[in-house]
Amino acid sequence: MVNFGCVLTAMITPFGKDGGVNYEVAEKLAVYLADNGSDSIVVCGTTGESPTLSWDEEYQLFQVVQKAVAGKAKVLAGTGSNSTEEAITATQKAAKLGLDGSLQVVPYYNKPPQAGLHDHFKAIAKSCPDLPLMLYNVPGRTGQNLLPETVARLAEIPNIVAIKEATGDFDQVSQLRRLTPPEFAIYSGDDSFTLATLAIGGTGVVSVASHLVGAEIQQMIQAFEIGKTKAATEIHLKLFPLFKVLFCTANPIPLKAALQLQGWEVGSVRPPLCELPPELKQKVEDVLKGLSLI
């Protein structure tokens, strides 16, 4: 049984003043995450600004993070694409690096029907039979919902082992849990839904906020797992303002601003994303101060 752990951090990609990837800061950040609550690190997902990274930048990031956290945390590569052929090529290349898994987003923009989605993920899985895959369902970004019935069919493929479910639809999460085997892991794709997802059979979270409060999120999940639901709820409610403010505009704009406030030299976001406006930056700063994070 594949075990990615409970807290998976969707890591940002630091950039230098020249706009290039700052691999030195990426290495330091990955080590920090592994030492502060992250069981696994997802590299080059949405939070990592994958749409504006080149494949060469992504492969170098995979290797830098893998080396940095070896023996401390697992590494999943975001190698999905709206092109099945491109996703296969990228995933095969990542698999050769010996990474621990791959995150596969639902193809975006072209809106394939469920049969097309099934065949897309099946083809990727079959091309890398020894690499565990996590599906990533985020219809708010992709324009298409991967339905529980389709996920159930995909879960029959041995190396499709998990899903990052970011619909915010708990009826759908419940149906996912009903239709998939117990060992198939369901991760919340939104920090504010982690506790509720656990309550209906989820495993954990692919987190944004864990850059800042990874140990606390880990503590919340562990408390829930041993039946201390009141303690888990208290942590959730304490961190809830942070969960929400980090999505006051497009991710990862607020997160990068928060990390900069903490002193991390993560740089700006790449166009077409833009800087956080002053009024929203003030909101982020106020929440961080309220949680004694700065």
**Interval 192-207: pLDDT, tens:** 999 999 999 999 999 9
Q: Which residue in 164, 187, 256, 281 is the catalytic one? A: 164
Q: Find out whether 8 and 205 touch, Cβ atoms under 8 Å.
A: yes
Q: Which residue in 136, 187, 256, 281 is the catalytic one? A: 136
Is pLDDT of 17 > 90? yes
Q: Is 111 helix (H, G, I), strand (E, B) or coil?
A: coil
Q: 277 preceded by cis ω (within 30°)?
A: no
Question: Considering Cα of 249, then 236, then 8, then 16, what sign does the dihedral take?
Answer: positive
Kindly report, residue by residue over 78-122, the tens digit of the pLDDT.
999 999 999 999 999 999 999 999 999 999 999 999 999 999 999
Separation of CA 91 from chain center: 17
- The pLDDT of residue 2 is 76
Whether 136 is catalytic is: yes
pTM (predicted TM-score)? 0.97
Is pLDDT of 245 > 90? yes
Q: How much of the chain, in percent, has pLDDT values that exceed 90?
A: 99
- The pLDDT of residue 274 is 97
Mean pLDDT over the full length of the chain: 97
Q: Find the helix or strand (DSSP H, E) in which 74 lies.
A: strand 74-78
- The pLDDT of residue 122 is 98
Is pLDDT of 221 > 80? yes
- The pLDDT of residue 117 is 98
Whether 72 is catalytic is: no
- The pLDDT of residue 281 is 97
- The pLDDT of residue 278 is 97
Is pLDDT of 44 > 90? yes
Residues 1-27: what's their mean pLDDT? 95
Confidence of residue 286 (pLDDT cuts 50, 70, 90): very high
